[in-house]
Structure 1
């Protein structure tokens, strides 16, 4: 690393600290009115959280009052800032603070560059077989001419007959028995998981064509979700990734397993056509414990008592921020992500809004094994968004056999920078990088 490159992270960290200090200075110059607005912002955040809790946990008049409160609180803060003539300084302070946060993350990322999942060079398949669902994603198979493009690249295509029930796992096993040296699927995440399990068992590479609705698995692999046909480029110019494949009982999953409120709501036949109305109707009974089984989860040595919602993911998601929300930086860490929520009232809802991941009602961790027990023989579970009823206890693990995923060499969604968002930003690291001259840093700046 050159001297200039070595100084880059340190300079970024110093600028980040200056932005954070500048934000505090701007607030200080607003005087008592600025301080009053900042206090009002905190109070407004609390009131928004309380209002949101009333909307979710109650019906009738309480829900209406909660909705009014959640909307009126931020409006009241803005009005107060305008009347106090400190709106512009407060906005400037907020902009400086968020710029400082972004630069701080960039500095730490530059100081310890994250590594992407290792790519392996492997020969192109000679007898690839792709299973395609013509109805998936509103007809993406036909819209993007996936059958024609796959066949032009030498693949055999099995087009599902959506008028009858078909076992995609059995179709994949039959393709393996007939000599396929790659199995792929164009469909949603649930279908992806079923075929991926067959590929993993056979030790064959697996190809993802993101023809589903949301395609979360494809997103975390870095594939272009706007054009599913680009995933087929892996057939002629691809590399291989070794990724983990989740197991819930004897069923595979590529993304998440949900327990509690969400899992119960998606069981409703009305959910697909009226998601918001169905959720609002069911949540009060679920959140207040008047409906649904009482669960206990064991994540390795950590016990989670009566979570209202529990999400177990195939590898941890990035820490929730504007950039990292809903993304998994890597899929090969060999651990499950665990997120549990337990909110017993408006006070805990406010604490969650103020403290985020530090709140007592939220648990974010990783584990190698999660066991969910309940006071019922069977519980609702959502596996990659699919509504199921499974016998208890329900055990989530990662399969011992890694999944060989063949992907295009060039993938627009690859972002190893997300890795440093699997934990929160610690300003002490930024201060040390900016101000403390370690021996390693001295050698780097000297060009050694």
Structure 2
């Protein structure tokens, strides 16, 4: 992969292939970026990802063309960004991230608040080699994650939301899913280093996260190849289990002030290079895990999940402030 000093300034977008996932960010009102693309990157190739298209096949086709792209870009949410990051790594290309999802955790960590900021980073050639998680369930294929991998209450919430999304939409489906999960969520058993534990959730984040939160979705460093693990032991109520999923700093502060967040004694923190656990499930409990908001279904009886921190996993265009901590 070329170093930062060797990357050209793609002032007009020549050599840039951007995939736009129109399905991302449907839970928020967001301006259409088409006019910005036309004005600032007129020579870029913009591909609108159809619902039945496979992103890997789209990129493979672009790389087989007579003029394969020098930069791979994506406009979408965290799931789309992580999938494109894996492909950028596979094809040895730098990644252009354009926030187009609901939360945009990774883009915000990289200092990319909007499309214009991302294009500024592209045109200035400001890049950074970011660390990532490589997650593998049992003997499955490895999955690259740029934010976090999780089991427990959060994957159950995503599973419930996805079941209702077709009929209710993402926003309303999420509200209904949160209410149902609040009433029905059950703790699960994990086995780690030969020890059993009942937990509400386990979050495996990449890079150190805010020590005050359970949900490690907003990394504080892009470079450090460290896993920040939070194990929320099942000593409190479902209400606290749901409150622990608060992603925003302000929301978490409010919930903590009214004593809805779990106490520190309920949350075990590990800072490690590798982490493994076996998830054992009772009948009726969904056998799933989540990586950057994407749901992965597993064998009904449970599974073993292994996570490894990968240094310099992919080169990403980033705002200067995002090269350390935004």
User: TM > 0.5 between the two?
Assistant: yes
Counterparts of 1:314-325 in structure 2, within 5 Å, are 314-320=206-212
For the structure 1 residues 129 and 141, does the alpha-carbon distance in structure 2 shift closer, same or farther, using more than 3 Å as the test? farther
Partner of residue 341, structure 1? 232
Distance 1:176 1:234, change over 3 A: farther
Instruction: Kindly indicate whether the alpha-carbon contact (under 8 Å) linking 2:147 and 2:218 is maintained by their aligned counterparts in 1.
Output: no
Q: Deviations over 1:42-89 (max 9, x none)?
A: xxxxxxxxxxxxxxxxxxxxxxxxxxxxxxxxxxxxxxxxxxxxxxxx
Cα contact 2:275–2:307 (8 A) shared by 1: yes
Partner of residue 266, structure 1 = 158
Equivalences for residues 429-440 of structure 1 within 5 A:
none
Structure 2 SS opposite 1:204 = coil
Q: Is the Cα–Cα contact under 8 Å of residues 156 and 288 in structure 2 kept in the other structure?
A: yes
Matches within 5 A, 1:210-249: 210-224=99-113, 227-249=114-136
C-alpha distance in structure 2 between counterparts of 1:174 and 1:296, whole Å: 41
Give the RMSD, CA atoms, in angstroms. Answer: 3.2
TM-score (norm 1): 0.55
For residue 308 of structure 1, give the secondary structure of its aligned residue in structure 2.
Answer: strand
| Correspondences of 1:139-150 after superposition (within 5 Å) | 140=30, 142-143=32-33, 145-149=35-39
Equivalent residue number for residue 362 of structure 1 = 267
1:306, distance to aligned residue in structure 2 (A)? 2.3
Asked whether 1:173 is paired with 2:60, we answer: yes
The structure whose residues are more often helix, as a share, is 1
The answer to whether structure 1 residue 382 and structure 2 residue 278 are counterparts is no
The residue correspondences of 1:256-335 to structure 2 (distance < 5 A) are 256-268=148-160, 269-270=163-164, 272=170, 273-287=172-186, 289=187, 294-298=188-192, 305-320=197-212, 327-335=218-226
| 2-structure distance, mates of 1:200, 1:264 | 30
* Alpha-carbon displacement from aligned partner over 1:232-287 (angstroms, at most 9, x marks no partner): 12332121101012222222211111211121122112374243443343345434
Instruction: Give the aligned partner of residue 188 of structure 1.
Output: 77
Gap regions ≥5 residues in structure 1? 1-118, 419-448
Cα deviation 1:185-237 (Å, max 9, x = unaligned): 0111101111110111222111101111211000101112xx32321123321
Q: How does 1:4-23 map to 2 (within 5 A)?
A: none
Distance 1:170 1:297 in 2: 37
Distance 2:40 2:85 in 1: 18
Deviation by residue 1:104-140 (Cα, 9 ceiling, x = unmatched): xxxxxxxxxxxxxxx9433225522111123432474
* TM-score, normalised via structure 2 length: 0.73
Structure having the higher strand fraction is 2
Q: Which runs of 5+ in 2 are unaligned?
A: 137-141, 245-255
Instruction: Answer whether contact 2:25 2:76 (CA < 8 A) is retained.
Output: yes
Partners of 1:208 and 1:297 in 2: CA distance: 36
Give the CA deviation at 1:408. Answer: 4.1
Mapped contact 2:33–2:115 kept (Cα < 8 A): no
Which residue of 1 is the match for residue 25 of structure 2? 137
Q: Specify whether residues 159 and 319 from structure 1 end up closer, same or farther in structure 2 by C-alpha distance, changes over 3 A only.
A: same
1:393 counterpart SS class: strand
1:375, distance to aligned residue in structure 2 (A):
2.7
Check whether the contact 2:223–2:311 (CA below 8 A) recurs between aligned residues: no
Distance 1:120 1:318, change over 3 A: farther
Task: Deviation per CA, 1:17-47: give whole Å up to 9, x if none.
Answer: xxxxxxxxxxxxxxxxxxxxxxxxxxxxxxx
Q: Distance in 2 between matches of 1:240 and 1:297?
A: 39
- What are the within-5 Å matches in structure 2 for residues 143-158 of structure 1? 143=33, 145-149=35-39, 151-152=41-42, 154-158=43-47
Q: Contact 2:132–2:310 (CA<8 Å) still a contact in 1?
A: yes
What is the aligned residue count?
277
Q: Say if 1:335 and 1:303 are closer, same or farther in 2 by CA, change over 3 A.
A: farther
